[in-house]
Amino acid sequence: MDSLISLSIAKNYGCFPSRIAICGDVRVLSGFQKPMVATKKTRTTIVNVASNMVDERRLVAWTSVRQERWEGELVVEGEIPKWLNGTYLRNGPGLWHLGDYGFRHLFDGYATLVRLNFHHGRLVMGHRQIESNAYKAAKKSNKLCYREFSEVPKHDNFLTYIGDLASLFSGASLTDNANTGVVKLADGRVVCLTETIKGSIVVDPDSLDTIEKFEYSDSWSGLIHSAHPIVTDTEFITLLPDLLNPGYMVVRMYPGTNERKVIGRVDCRGGPSPGWVHSFPVTEHYVIVPEMPLRYCAQNLLKAEPTPLYKFRWYPESKGFMHVMCKASGKIVASVEVPLFVTFHFINAYEEKDEDGRITGVIADCCEHNADTTILDNLRLQNLRSWSGEDVLPDARVGRFRIPLDGSKNGELFAALNPDEHGRGMDMCSINPNFLGKQYRYAYACGAQRPCNFPNTLTKIDLVDRKAKNWYDEGAVPSEPYFVARPGATKEDDGVVISMISDKNGEGYALILDGTTFEEIARAKFPYGLPYGLHGCWVPKN
């Protein structure tokens, strides 16, 4: 078996003949030069990456980034608030081509980190590829070397297939392509993440340099974790799915350490494996652990060609559950059956109290896809690039779970507002971070102006009035709207919303909306269109 593992690792590091280079000659433009879209002199850095394989004038959101890096000051139309000082970082898959080979799924692409630095009304943009081992190996060998979301390295013969399976079980062949999220830890470190634990990479928020792997110092085993940990000034909480003894370990890490300590464990109540936990919510006193009937599937994981649900399988007979764990004791205070659900992203959660201040239940909100799993296969790049104009985006809503803490066996799931308010599209959400785990009113997300095949609006959700305000630019694909609160603000929506837009003309721009009115206050055109990105974080100026 050791020889098989060694063979697989050799394969994964690209010890095979190459085909076509994915990177051109490196060319650095140093000194102070005129940026492509600004009138002021600034430093511009360019490294060519790949030739595009689709019409970027129409489909820049799904087209590989033009070059490995760029930096320059942008011309601002409108006025950026002077109080907005800091850096917005956005992570996401931005390179879907290896030579003449194109990846299949949105989630497969190699990570591209984009930086918007705001300083007294000025804006400097930069982007750079994250230098994971998966990216560097592919760049060197011109072929896929690690298992991505839907992609598996090609097996030359049965022996290499067996070796790949051995390296899969050890984790050696799993990707470290940190292309999903980026978080700022309380101690100042900035970490890019994906669902594999090895895909945790520390980056410099100013230069976007890849610094090092984020290595956990504890002895907890496992290969995967939630791609969206809960990060505050006092703690880092995440879930570790247990695929062998189906359940979830809930762990906490304190600032300045790399050691995860166990809060408690949740055993699954249904199905042969834990449900997918891309994200989860918390309240002031509790961690809410969702058990979705879309469950990890070992058989699908072992297949060389992807199934429509990729590494998962839909088990409606296993039912859906929500578990509530006390942060202090690790005890399960509620475990209820809920209607079947499908969600990638939870929005927020908070505790319900009676007139005497006693906690009677928990509310947890998410972007819920009406228990429809087809959204996963809709995100294949072929589907995104070949849209015919029909309305094919599956419906979604703000799904609200009500979990009683009185010992009841069942919880509720319903729409928190009429989904038509946001075009029956709902994903990629953010809130005012000061309201994390607390009762809140506003959420910002991507909605839909139909017909469409992908969320194409920005929407501000009012959960009290049950209304939505929507921003829409025909043909544009906006990324996650990220809310930044104004320093000293007392109102929940006093701040700005930042999003990056890939538009219909193959171009793109940074967009700043007023958090209260949801009207545009500024935009800044990019030198060229950037591909669609996923999640971001805010790094305030020290």
Residue numbers belonging to the annotated binding site for Fe cation: 228, 278, 345, 535
> Which of 320, 295, 193 is CA-nearest to residue 253?
193
Containing 59, the helix (H) or strand (E) segment is: helix 56-59
Map residue 372 onto helix, strand or coil. coil
Cα→Cα distances 264→229, 277, 437, 492, Å: 16, 16, 19, 33
For 13-53, give the DSSP string: TT-S---S-SS-------SSB--SS-SS-B----EE----S
Q: Are 446 and 513 in contact (CB under 8 A)?
A: no
- Strand runs labelled E in 169-214: 181-184, 190-193, 201-203, 210-213
User: Which residue carries 């929407």 as its tokens?
Assistant: 459
- The alpha-helical segments, DSSP class H, found in 157-231 are 158-170
Cα→Cα distances 95→98, 178, 288, 501, Å: 8, 13, 34, 17
Q: Which two tokens stand for residue 443?
A: 């959420």
Q: Which residues are annotated as a binding site?
A: 228, 278, 345, 535
Is cis: bond before 205, omega within 30 of 0?
A: no
Could you give the CA distance from residue 129 to residue 479 in angstroms, rounded to a whole number?
18
Q: Which residues contact 490 (CB under 8 A, 6 or more apart)?
A: none
Task: Count other C-beta atoms under 10 Å from residue 471's C-beta.
Answer: 21
